[in-house]
Structure 1
Amino acid sequence: MKQKSIKLAYLFAVLNAVIIGFSFLFAKLSLGSAQPLDTLTFRFAFSFIIMTIPVALGMIKLNYRGKPIFKAFLLAAMYPLGFFTLQAFGLLHASSAEGGILYAFTPVVTMIIASIFLKETTTLLQKLSIFLSVFGVVFIFLMKGSSIDLSNMLGISLLFLTCFAFAGYSVLARSLSKHFSPAEITYLMLGIGFVVFLTISLVQHTAAGTMGSFLTPLSSGSFLLSIFYLGVISSLITSLTSNYILGQIEASKMSVFTNLSTIVSMAGGALFLGEELTVYHVIGSLFIIAGVVGTNLLGSKRKRLSPSSGGEATVSRV
């Protein structure tokens, strides 16, 4: 049963990479109709409302009594609040290519933080595999002619901090998986994201005198399609699966899968936007895949302890 849960976690990790890879296409589409913060507001509104329906009908049971709620709020402060806020403002001062290069270092940051706070250990081969996956992403961007402009230090710093925000989320979510189900963590994350981003958007529109245009993007069919994908599929589903994954496998192993989204994004761009795929895309993709496989297969195999013997508890399913 435990082995089946771990296999399901790996399946979810690949699924998440595919979903996140295609989310870049829908994010570009949505920004044609609304500002970044408004997009985030509608994104989390959709995801929170959709999840509220089965919660209200009793199909999903939530119980927060006696659980470390403060840590769950801290989790939401890292992701989605910290991550998306840093990303939005970082991209105002830096390019999306710079963001892609810097975000590739998330597995490295996660590995370091997980080793400090969760005492997760990685072998030399695993460390080399993680760096190989990072190199694959950076290689692709550099071959495309992208680079990091040090004159954009503010944007670069904010984008690099997104690595710490996501790494912090991964580490804390793994720790909280002993106390909360994936649904309980996800519902809090989405609810807090919705309330905070809605408040910020309303304050901005009120100050600018543009409240009348706040709902205008919802009249666009392409925007609604984009927000449905970003809110329900890219936010709700990936949050549920990510929180499940982190209850089954180490944070360092899970985080390296994020670099697979670069491959999916390239494939999506080629299929739907007519973007060119070259030999260096293939080479970089092979580096990424080899890094992901190596990270998850080259570690030392150790039995996971039961909660009663001081090990980590598994998380209940949704």
Structure 2
Amino acid sequence: MLNKYSSTAAAITVAIIFGFSFFFTKSALFYLNPFQLLGLRFALAAVTLTFLVLIKIIKLNLRFSNIPALIGISLWQPVIYFVCETYGVKNTTASESGIVIALVPVAVTFLSFLILKERVTYKQAFYIGAAVLGVIMMTISGEAGGQNNAPEHNLGIGLLFCAVISAGFYNIFSRKAAGSHTPIEITFVMMWSGALVFNVLGLFQNYMFDGLVGYAAALQNPTAIWSLLYLGILSSVVAFFLLNYALSKLPAPRVSVFMNLTPIVSVLAGAIFLNEYFGLWQGLGGIVVLIGVWGTNKFSTKPGGEHENSSLHGE
């Protein structure tokens, strides 16, 4: 009974952490360039994981011959995913970002049908369509809501869509790799891949606009520091362990239900702490998205109750 409650609490905590990650990303982007934010975030996460390996809190049995395959997976996430997500958050709101990113399970179902030839039922197809319709409603509401940067807003929604597709590919390829690699091995290579790629891009980006001196200067701002600590340690490392703990005690489909709290948290965080506009059409569109995500997960079960595909996405 204690394990049941602790695993449920862990799953809810992960959803809350992921939900607030959009708020902290938006806050950090006021002081850091996108690649600078990503580079420092993943460097912090990679160093933290390495420290945990060195003090033997976590075990890592990574063979050099396995690294190229894991780097290939890392291309989808973190590289493509976080580039699209970060620029998407920059051009939209934390509220909208959390809702659009909630489409990841829908993308996994759709790509599993295309790539893995997994069956998609008529009910699933209906809810996939509903989820996409909800995003369209939110996109239209960005202009109807009186936003002056409608082109940038629509670009941001498009980039978030690309992030969702990238996360879908990552889920499929990491599922194939799960048979020969542990989650910690995949995550370790992901974090170091992100740290190396994004810091190189971040240094170049800063050199072009502010000079290399400005790369660390933004870290003098408390908001930037707290945002990086949250994203690099809490969202990337702590949430990973909590998620794996929840998955070790509860079925993946049940854990995925708790993940539906993430967009709700992102909406509340954006509205309360960032005073973001969230109008009627955006609210209706968000509800349609969540219904679509729920239905896609709900009807991905076989008659015996076994899930054909269950994807959990981490921030």
Q: Contact 2:105–2:296 (CA<8 Å) still a contact in 1? A: no
TM superposition shift of 1:40: 0.9
Q: Which amino acid aligns with 1:174?
A: R
8 Å Cα contact 1:110/1:167 also seen in 2:
yes
Matched, 1:193 2:206: no
Percent identity at matched positions? 28
Aligned partners of 1:269 and 1:275 also within 8 Å: yes
Contact 2:131 2:293 in 1 (8 A): yes
Letter in 1 for 2:190: M
- Of 28, 45, 54, the residue aligned with 1:47 is 45
Instruction: Provide Cα deviations, 1:36-55, integer angstroms capped at 9, x if missing partner.
Output: 11111111111112211211
SS at match of 1:121: coil
Q: 1:111 aligns with which of 87, 92, 109?
A: 109
2:125 and 2:245 map into 1 onto residues whose CA distance is 24
Q: For the aligned residues, what is the CA RMSD? A: 4.2
Unaligned stretches of 5+ in structure 1?
Answer: 306-310, 313-318
Aligned residue number for residue 161 of structure 1: 162
Taking the aligned partners of 2:40 and 2:80, their CA distance within structure 1 comes to 17
Q: 1:165 to 1:29 in 2, by over 3 A?
A: same
User: Could you tell me whether the CA contact under 8 Å between 1:20 and 1:261 is conserved in 2?
Assistant: yes
Asked if 1:184 corresponds to 2:197, the answer is no
Question: Which of these residues, 10, 24, 27, is aligned with residue 25 of structure 2?
Answer: 27
Deviations 1:15-63 (A, max 9, x none): 5543332222111211222211111111111111221121111111111
d(CA) in 2 for partners of 1:140, 1:257 = 23
- Once the two structures are TM-superposed, the CA of residue 141 in structure 1 deviates from its matched residue by 4.7
CA distance in 2, matches of 1:216, 1:110: 40
State whether structure 2 residue 216 is matched by structure 1 residue 215: yes
Counterpart residue identity of residue 232, structure 2: G
Q: Aligned in 2, Cα 1:50/1:129: closer, same or farther, shift over 3 Å?
A: same
Q: Aligned partners of 2:103 and 2:273: how far apart in 1?
A: 27
1:86 Cα offset (Å): 3.6
Matching residue of 2:173: 172
SS in structure 2 at match of 1:301: coil
Residue 36 of structure 1 corresponds to which residue in structure 2?
34
Name the TM-score, length of structure 1 as normaliser.
Answer: 0.73
The residue that corresponds to 2:313 in the other structure is: none
What letter matches 2:186 in structure 1? I
- 5+ residue gaps, structure 2: 310-315
Deviations 1:171-207 (A, max 9, x none): 1112212122211111110011011111222344456
Q: Which of 91, 96, 114 lines up with 2:92 in the alignment?
A: 96
C-alpha distance in 2 between matches for 1:134 and 1:246: 28
Give the 5 Å matches for 1:265-284.
Answer: 265-275=266-276, 283-284=284-285
Q: Whose relative contact order is higher, 1 or 2, with alpha carbons under 8 Å and at least 6 apart?
A: 2
Aligned 1:1-318 pairs, distance under 5 A: 12=11, 15-65=13-63, 68-88=66-86, 95-96=91-92, 100=97, 106-144=104-142, 145=144, 159-206=160-207, 210-239=211-240, 249=252, 261-275=262-276, 283-298=284-299, 299-302=301-304
Give the TM-score of the pair, scaled to structure 2.
0.74
Q: 1:10 to 1:291 in 2, by over 3 A?
A: farther
Kept after mapping to 2: 8 A contact 1:132/1:290: yes
Question: What is the aligned length?
Answer: 297
Q: Per-residue deviation at 1:282?
A: 5.5
